[in-house]
């Protein structure tokens, strides 16, 4: 029970990596805020999983790109939890496009959600994060290597790391630890478009020979959220099976 008595607000927690982070944190004793935007059915399912295991949580609907939505989310969460021990910036969107075909509207939307959404969440949450709190960003290996079919996504995830490092420096006097996790290819709906051949090709490119599991990202987030990471801040932990080593 590494997070017994802690509170955690997790964006994009209705599916994929966010879902596993929420259930993992609840399993270890945290009261979790399950943010979702459109997938209410999935979010309710996450809450049911948590409650069936005697965990506690609350649903928080809102588009993180919308500052008013985020303000309302944080207000609702704090009414129940009183403070935010752990903030996980996980929500994100990924639309495959070559840069030459990338519409300005798509570029803006991806950055609004993936990067500006982190600004909104951090800005609204910080007054309620106590000394010793944690902020965790879910970035991507593409923040380092770029993407031939997602320049907007790679840009947003690289910008996220700049924000993470800056907050780590600024918040160190308050003993708030700020870190990031950079997943490789994880078996979630973000790769639902993969054909069997594409999947096999990707697995062959990964030194460990398989795709990652959402739970493996959640496990690293659990470490960063707990007392076990007490002397780590401003760092990015790569979880990619050796696909991109740097």
Share of the chain above pLDDT 70, in %: 100
153 carries an active-site annotation: yes
Q: Place 141 in a pLDDT band, splitting at 50, 70 and 90.
A: very high
Q: What is the DSSP string of the chain?
A: -TTTT-EEEETT-SSHHHHHHHHHHHHTT-EEEEEESS-HHHHHHHHHHHHHTT-EEEEEE--TTSHHHHHHHHHHHHHHHSS-SEEEE-------B-GGG--HHHHHHHHIIIIIHHHHHHHHHGGGPPTT-EEEEE--THHHH--TTBHHHHHHHHHHHHHHHHHHHHHGGGT-EEEEEEE-SBSSGGGTT--HHHHHHHHHHSTTSS-B-HHHHHHHHHHHHSGGGTT--S-EEEESTTSS--
Catalytic member of 36, 119, 153, 194:
153
pLDDT score of 27 more than 90 = yes
- Give the pLDDT confidence score for residue 44 in this predicted structure: 98
User: pTM to 2 decimals?
Assistant: 0.97
State the Cα angle at 108 between 106 and 113, rounded to 5°: 95
pLDDT score of 20 more than 90 = yes
Domain boundaries in the chain?
7-237
What is the rounded average pLDDT for all residues in the chain?
96
The whole-angstrom separation of Cα 60 and Cα 105 is 26
pLDDT per residue as tens digits for the range 190-216: 888 889 999 999 999 999 999 999 999
**Cβ atoms of 135 and 87 closer than 8 Å:** yes
> Residues 6 or more apart from 236 whose CB is under 8 A from it?
139, 161, 164, 179, 180, 181, 182
- Give the pLDDT confidence score for residue 191 in this predicted structure: 85
Thinking of the domain 7-237, which architecture would CATH place it in? 3-Layer(aba) Sandwich (3.40)
pLDDT per residue as tens digits for the range 83-114: 999 999 999 999 889 999 999 999 999 999 99
pLDDT score of 46 more than 90 = yes
């Amino acid at each position: 029970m590494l997070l017994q008595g802690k509170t955690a607000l997790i964006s994009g927690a209705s599916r994929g990596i966010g879902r596993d982070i929420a259930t993992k944190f609840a399993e270890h004793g945290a009261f979790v805020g399950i943010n979702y935007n459109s997938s209410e059915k999935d979010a309710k399912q996450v809450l049911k999983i948590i409650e069936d295991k005697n965990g506690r949580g609350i649903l928080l609907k809102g588009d993180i790109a919308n500052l008013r939505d985020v303000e309302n989310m944080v207000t609702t969460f704090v009414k129940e939890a009183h403070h935010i021990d752990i903030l996980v910036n996980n929500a994100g969107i990924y639309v495959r496009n070559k840069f030459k075909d990338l519409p300005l509207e798509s570029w803006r939307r991806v950055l609004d959600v993936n990067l500006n959404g982190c600004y909104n969440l951090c800005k609204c949450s910080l007054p309620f994060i106590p000394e010793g709190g944690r902020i965790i960003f879910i970035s991507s290996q593409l923040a380092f290597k770029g993407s031939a079919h997602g320049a907007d996504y790679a840009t947003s995830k690289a910008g996220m790391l700049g924000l993470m490092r800056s907050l780590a420096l600024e918040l160190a006097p308050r003993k708030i630890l700020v870190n990031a996790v950079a997943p490789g290819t994880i078996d979630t709906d973000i790769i639902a478009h993969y054909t069997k051949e594409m999947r096999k090709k990707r697995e062959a490119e990964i030194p460990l020979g398989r795709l990652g599991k959402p739970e493996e990202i959640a496990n690293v987030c659990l470490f960063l959220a707990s007392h076990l990471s007490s002397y780590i801040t401003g760092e990015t932990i790569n979880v990619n099976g050796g696909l991109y080593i740097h």
